[in-house]
Structure 1
């Protein structure tokens, strides 16, 4: 098995957090639901739950709206683009991964996740919310980390592109249908997104992730496009693939909420083996 060529810096641990707690250029973003945030969060953390901000339209017009949404969100969070931003939740989950991916897509160069989340941090929690100034964040979209439905349609069956379905098996096999149509994007390789997590809620090691992805047939020389229902679990897979050394990874933002609700896109209907 080949080892990851160069693992990007996407994760920080509890030790890093303790060492950089007082840094003025470090912003902590708590991505849990608001109720959990107000029950106790890391000192200085700002709150942003990405779940209410679904976006399933990856047309040109839809992406213009998404860009406006991101500018509004990151401005409200006081982000300028010059600081280090660390997203966290209770473990290494999809909420924090979505925040990381979205900020990377927006052109920010130093977006990170707290690996293991609050379960791994030994810091005392607070219910105080510190004041901070709103900014005027302007995005510089990074198309290399994003896939639209049109991008995928043009590349289905291409030998250098692989689609990675990270939904549950029930969704993949149309046992749980969450859109107008059940099924999957044709030729998609499937594995539930949680396979990238350890039992403790951390990401598995880069070597473990790489071995697993290679066993599925994911080729590091290909463009890999993960998708799920709304681009959240796919954002987690995006991070996991990057950690494993896969360099060309694009999150399909619209995912099945877009693909499965259209009548003009190809759909495959996988069946479980008897």
Structure 2
């Protein structure tokens, strides 16, 4: 049975102790890398396991590939296996950063062939605001499972493919960063400001409403239409390092866009090449 990728806390509350469900805490602070694990140790949804952005959801840094390169597939599979997850396991991921880190986990799981990964609407803060249970217990005893790699290549675009599609009429590049970074006015994370030429802009946080909950598919379609995105085009989504772009990938797919790919290295990979063109302003 097909399910929406976003689940309400009530759905999780009713199922959180079912044996075929694993809850994954993805909280992470890029300015204080240890803060996510520390937050998990203070309190978390009962039974949740922890996945760290740098250690578990990214690969080692190299000359190219961006600030949070994709992990090696077998290394990722080993990590997921240790968390007690296989392809029959239902998984719910959450964070406290608007869903961007959970969306990274969701995208990685789908890219590696898992079809039953969901994101908790509103994240941990919303869960707590509803008065739902939290725990400071140590991580549960995990029985490892065998997670097999089933890569879906059609979900990914690399730098060369992006370069070859600049200004192509059948392809749109979607920049998911804040407007000031897209415009090249300010760049707090990377050594070069600007955007990929021809890209359109839709800040990933606009996927959420004022309460921090995911907008409906209809509302997502409206915001992407306002950005000039045609559902018939191929859409390649990027951000600074390939993390927050996953939130826009999820929003696009919920809105019914089917030709959506992630440029995983994103801007930080693009500017690592000397021959890359750069645009600023609108």
What residue number does 1:50 align with?
53
Q: Give the TM-score, by structure 2 length.
A: 0.86
Q: Does residue 1:167 correspond to 2:177, yes or no?
A: yes
Please say if 1:119 is aligned against 2:125. Answer: yes
Alignment-derived partner of residue 147 in structure 1: 157
Q: Tell me the number of residue pairs that the alignment of Structure 1 and Structure 2 aligns.
A: 262
Are 1:221 and 2:224 counterparts? no
Aligned to 1:265, what secondary structure does the other structure show?
coil
Partner Cα separation in structure 2 for residue 243 and residue 88 of structure 1? 18
- 1:22 pairs with 2:29: no
What displacement does 1:202 show? 0.8
Q: Distance in 1 between matches of 2:270 and 2:190?
A: 9
Tell me how far 1:84 sits from its aligned partner: 0.7
The question of 1:176 aligning with 2:171 is answered no
Instruction: Go from structure 1 to structure 2 and tell me whether the alpha carbon gap of 1:152 and 1:8 turns closer, same or farther (over 3 Å shift).
Output: farther
Take 2:85 and 2:49, find their aligned partners in 1: how far apart are those partners? 11
Structure 1: runs of 5 or more not aligned: 1-6
Q: Which residue of 2 aligns with 1:75?
A: 81
State how far apart, in whole Å, the 1-side matches of 2:173 and 2:97 are: 26
CA distance in 2, matches of 1:58, 1:147: 12
1:232-271 correspondence runs (5 A): 232-267=243-278, 269-271=279-281
Q: CA deviation at 1:155?
A: 1.7
Separation in 2, partners of 1:163, 1:8: 28
SS at match of 2:237: strand
CA positional deviation for 1:115? 0.9
Offset of 1:245 from its aligned partner?
A: 1.1
| SS in structure 1 at match of 2:53 | coil
Deviates more, 1:207-216 or 1:91-100: 91-100
For the 8 Å contact 2:99–2:119, the answer to whether it is kept is no
Secondary structure in 2 aligned to 1:27?
Answer: strand
1:110 correspondence with 2:110: no
TM-score, normalised by the number of residues in structure 1: 0.88
1:91 Cα deviation (Å)? 5.9
Q: Gapped runs of 5+ residues in structure 2?
A: 28-35
Partner of 1:39: 42
Equivalent residue, structure 2, for 1:131: 141
Kindly report the root-mean-square deviation, in angstroms, between the aligned alpha carbons of the 2 structures: 2.1
Is the contact between residue 229 and residue 256 of structure 1 (CA under 8 Å) also seen in structure 2?
yes
Structure 1 residues 91 and 181, CA gap change in structure 2 (3 angstroms): closer
